[in-house]
Amino acid sequence: MNIKSLLLGSAAALAAVSGAQAADAIVAAEPEPMEYVRVCDAFGTGYFYIPGTETCLKVGGYVRFEVGFGDDTNDFSGGDWDSYSRAQLDFTAKSDTELGTLTSVASVRFEANQDVAYTSNGSSGGTYINEAYIQLGGFRVGRWLNWWDANDLPGELDNLGSNRLQSISYTYTGSAFTAGIQVDELSRAAGVGGQNVGIEAIIQAAIGPAKLELLGSYDFGAEDGAVRAIGSVAVGPGTFYLSGVWSSGDNAYYGVTDTGAGEAAVAVAYFFKATDKLEIIPEAQYIWNTEADADGDFFGDDAWGAGVTVNYQIVENFAAKVAVNYVEVGDEDGTVQGIVRLQRDF
């Protein structure tokens, strides 16, 4: 065999092997395009589209550290100071429908202090649902801070009612006028009325620099109700607030059982933004008849208090709050109470 024949044979063999390998080659599939998170600006800042849907989601909340001081501030030990930490996570989902905006809110709180048996909401557990509700247009069902809790004065002194209830409500919102009605589940301890219901109605109006709110509620179990009015107006460099509340008898909306208040109260406050970072809020209140008997009838000493709340924004989304209040009940010696709080919002 000569050299020429050997070269031709080798070339033919290599061609055959190459053809076989080409026939068996595996072609990699094209990668599917990745769907990146898109910003949703239809409902304000902070929302983004959940991938693959037209639902917008917002995640937020805060982390708080707070120290309270004053006589018997610590219910667990009877001490004159106590501290606690809280983390709150808020999830808000919104989407447009033919019946209006569909909203769902899930807000959870995690709390801890050295007094294991107590948290700031009075329960024995450190985790609880703050709010959980569904809303379509003006119709809402679930659990949330109701009008008695959400719309008080800006300081830390006033006691004008507080409730977080299982409810059904409808709210009409106009350009300068809002009206709403709400039915609440009111549950009492065994042997003290059991399951019952309550009803709330609210009217809010804004006229130029002035705002007015009128709220009324009735507790069918206690067969008593309460009314409250809050007005505010821009005065000078700040806003002046005036509020009054009255109960026909101790009930779930206002009284001594759930709020530690009384038969009636009046409160005033002035919100003053001294600088872009500093807010100062002096406040005063007077409460009549701070006790109630088994039938819900009021009696007892009157109480009054005065104080000041200072808010300071250290940096963006990180703020400090200091509140100092003086409270006096009847002829007893007055007490100084307050809080020091640091909070990081996100």
Read off the tokens for 169: 């409500």
The pLDDT of residue 193 = 57
Tell me if 343 sits within 8 A of 86, measured CB to CB: no
The pLDDT of residue 14 = 46
Tell me if 295 sits within 8 A of 271, measured CB to CB: no
The average pLDDT across 27-41 equals: 72
Which residues neighbour 215 within 8 Å (Cβ) at sequence distance 6 or greater?
Answer: 147, 148, 151, 200, 201, 202, 227, 228, 229, 230
Check whether 4 has a pLDDT greater than 60. Answer: no
Q: Which helix (H) or strand (E) holds 9?
A: helix 3-23
For 188-334, where are the E strands, in sequence order? 195-207, 210-219, 224-235, 238-247, 264-273, 278-288, 291-292, 298-299, 303-315, 318-329
pLDDT in tens, 177-194: 999 999 999 976 544 556
The residues facing 343 across adjacent strands are: 64, 319
Q: How far is CA 26 from CA 14, 19, 20, 156, in A?
A: 20, 14, 13, 71
Read off the tokens for 110: 């995690």
Measured CA to CA, the distance from residue 303 to residue 327 in angstroms comes to: 7
Residue whose C-alpha is closest to residue 165's, from 119, 131, 120, 216? 131
Read off the tokens for 228: 């409250």
Residue whose C-alpha is closest to residue 200's, from 178, 223, 226? 226
Burial of 167 (0-12, 13-18, 19+ CB in 10 A): buried
The average pLDDT across 304-330 equals: 96
The pLDDT of residue 130 = 95
Q: Which helix (H) or strand (E) holds 14?
A: helix 3-23
Q: How far apart are the first and last CA of the chain?
A: 85
Check whether 25 has a pLDDT greater than 80. Answer: no
Please indicate whether residue 277 or residue 150 has the higher confidence score (pLDDT). 277
Measured CA to CA, the distance from residue 47 to residue 90 in angstroms comes to: 12
Residue whose C-alpha is closest to residue 101's, from 38, 164, 173? 173
Q: Indicate the range of 63-67, 197-201, 253-257 predicted with least confidence.
A: 253-257
212: left (phi over 0), alpha (psi -120 to 50) or beta: beta
pLDDT in tens, 67-116: 999 876 665 556 788 898 999 999 999 999 999 999 999 999 999 887 65
φ/ψ of residue 57, rounded to 5: -125, 140
pTM: 0.81
